Structures are given as C-alpha cells and as structure tokens.
A = this chain, B = another copy of it.
Amino acid sequence: MTEKGHGAMDVVVFGAGRIGRIHAGNLARQPGVRLKYVVDVNREAAEALAREHGAEAVEADVALADRAVGASVICSSTDTHADLIERSATVGKHVFCEKPADLTVARAQACAQAVERAGVVCMIGFQRRFDPTFAAVKARLDAGEIGTPEMLVVTSRDPGAPPVEYIKRSGGIFKDMLIHDFDIFRWILDDEAETIHATGSCLTDPSIAEAGDVDSTAVTIRTKRGRLCQINTTRRAAYGYDQRFEVLGSAGMLQAGNVRPTEVTAYSAKAVSTDVPEPFFLERYRAAYAHEIAHFFEAVTRGTPVRTTIADGVKALELAEAATRSWREGRALRIGEGA
C-alpha cells in the first residue's frame, strides 16, 4: 500500500457510469482515502465525475504509473475487468472490482493467480453480502440461531430487462444476473454445489429469445452435504426489484425481506397497502455499497481478510457456466463434470 504524506490513500476509479459514481461518492466519504483519478473511455463522463470530487480525469496508463495510487476501483465494462485487475496487481495496487472478474472461468482464474502473485488485496463487488438485512441473516445463522442450514430459497427479480444489445454482450442471464445469487448460495449455505439443474423460459420479450437467452429461470443446487437450494429469477417483475431469500435450518427459519422507501400503511375501502420495494439495485443496495467500500479499505489498511475474494468470484462464475450448460442441454449436471 502506498500512502502519501497527508496520510490518505490515493485511489483511481475506472468507469464513470452509474456504479462508478456510487463508489466514488462512497470512497469520498471514507476517512483516509482520496479519489485522485477517474478513468473512462467517455472522457466527458470521467471529467464530470473527477470534478465532483476534486480528482483528475486521466488515461489508465497515467493512473497505473502513479506510485502514489494505492488502489484501483474497477467499475468499467465487464470486458475490461480482467486486464485492469492484472495490470493493477502487477504494479502493486490493491483491487476492488465489480463482478464478474471476467465472463470466462479460465480468465477469471488467471486474474486470481495474478493477484496472488502480486500479494495485493483483491475484492469482488458482491455487494449483497454487505446489505444490512442479508448480513444480519448470515450473522444469526453463524451464531446458530436456526441450527444447521438445510434449504435455501432465493427470489431474485429485476424490475425490467436491459436493452437486448446489453443482453447479447452480457454472457447470458446466468452470468449476468444469477452470479449474485450463486454467491449468496455459497455464502449462506456455507457449502459447495455437487449437482445443479437449471431451466428457463423467455416469457417477457421474444427478442431476448432471439438473442439466445431467457428472461425467467429456475435453478436447483444440491450441495456436497445434501443441502438444497432453489433460485427463481426473472428480468421483469411488474412490482419492482424483488430481492429476498429464506434459509431453513434444523431449528427454525430466517427470511431476508425487501426494503421499502417508507413505513406508511394505507387503509382504503379496498385494501391495506404498503410501499412497493425500492425500485432497483442502486436504491436497494445503497447501504450495501457504502459498507463494501468501507470493508475494502479496512482490509487494505488493517490487513483484515476481505469477505468476497476473487476466489468467490471464480466459484460463482463456475456455477453460472454450469447453469448455462444445464439449461442449454436440458439436464442436471454434476459440478466438475467434464465437457
């Protein structure tokens, strides 16, 4: 870690899009951290974000060459992640990278090796593990409140599909959307998949099917210890962003529910009603994004372990690849089963 005389760590953010702006804002609020550079192929976006935080918009080379920069926060498009992880690690910068490290397991593994060789911290942005509700379930589970976990049901629904152009480059719904759910699965059940079965349908927009993808999926995983997990996902829930899971244990159950904008309950002649959930990930996981950035800098500063390693990223990606194959081939697979 390179620290400047003023005692703060300089940081570069790659990517000035929606999520880059979120991370930039959160690290600006982080004591002992200074946003020095913003890098984006869209120079205007880079400059706007840089200006907002008293940083500088530069080319990647400049930022990576600056020895004062202690960490790279990578929020650029997915196809640039692996390169930036490797280049950052090589010059000794700690890495925070949005999921996924890459769309292929092989390349993600190469990144993991590069990080290990360099001895830098590398954290993957599975922000859901930092959501206060999800994290509380995990903590209570670990404290034994419901005994041994036996079954996990994950509901993960987006409010609407992205443009088909995005879907075509996304690696498919299992890598693009469910990668988060696969990470939740490993984290909550504390076990690895033995078999996986995935099926899906295109129910909301035929152009998604034409792009070779589905918009609705149902995945079942059985773990090495026999625990069961079911994940249901859709690209389009008419009522908004639906992010819940429940874990059944030998002594009880814990449910993680949605977050609502307000706690108003309205009584009319027809119904008693409350708010729909927060509309999408930026609102739903606002606190999670703040906590994960704080966690990253704490890990960097104090040498504590990160909660979401690049190895977790690789594992989730392996599940996404297996799910994709299971869906395409219409059969259940054993994980590790050769092609």
Chain A residues close to B by CB (< 8 Å): 29, 132-133, 136-137, 140, 145-148, 150-151, 153, 155, 157, 195, 197, 199-204, 216-218, 220, 222, 226-230, 232, 234, 236-240, 242, 248-259, 261-277, 330-332
Contact = CB atoms under 8 A, between A and B. Distances in A.
Contact of A254 (B195, B202, B251, B266): B266
B276 A273 contact: no
Nearest to A254: B266
Contacts of A269: 238-240, 251-252, 276
Residue with the greatest number of chain B CB neighbours at <10 A, chosen from A195, A272, A276? A272
A35 to B, nearest CB: 15
Contacts of A234: 150-151, 248
Closest 8 CB pairs of A and B: A201-B226, A273-B273, A257-B263, A271-B273, A239-B267, A253-B267, A255-B265, A133-B262
B265 A257 contact: yes
A227 to B, nearest CB: 7
Nearest to A157: B248
Contacts of A232: 151, 153, 228, 230
Contact of A275 (B216, B252, B272): B272
Nearest to A239: B267
22 contacts: A132-B261, A147-B238, A150-B201, A150-B203, A151-B218, A153-B155, A199-B222, A199-B228, A199-B332, A204-B250, A218-B230, A237-B248, A237-B253, A238-B250, A238-B251, A238-B269, A239-B267, A252-B266, A255-B265, A257-B264, A269-B276, A272-B276
A272 B260 CA distance: 10
Contact of A264 (B133, B147, B249): B133
Given A133-B262, A255-B265, A220 B222 contact: no
A259 B256 CA distance: 16
A257 B275 CA distance: 12
A255 B250 contact: no
Given A157-B248, A226-B203, A272-B273, A266 B253 contact: yes
B226 A218 contact: no
Contacts of A236: 250
Nearest to A326: B332
A271 B270 CA distance: 12
A312 to B, nearest CB: 23
Contacts of A199: 195, 197, 220, 222, 228, 332
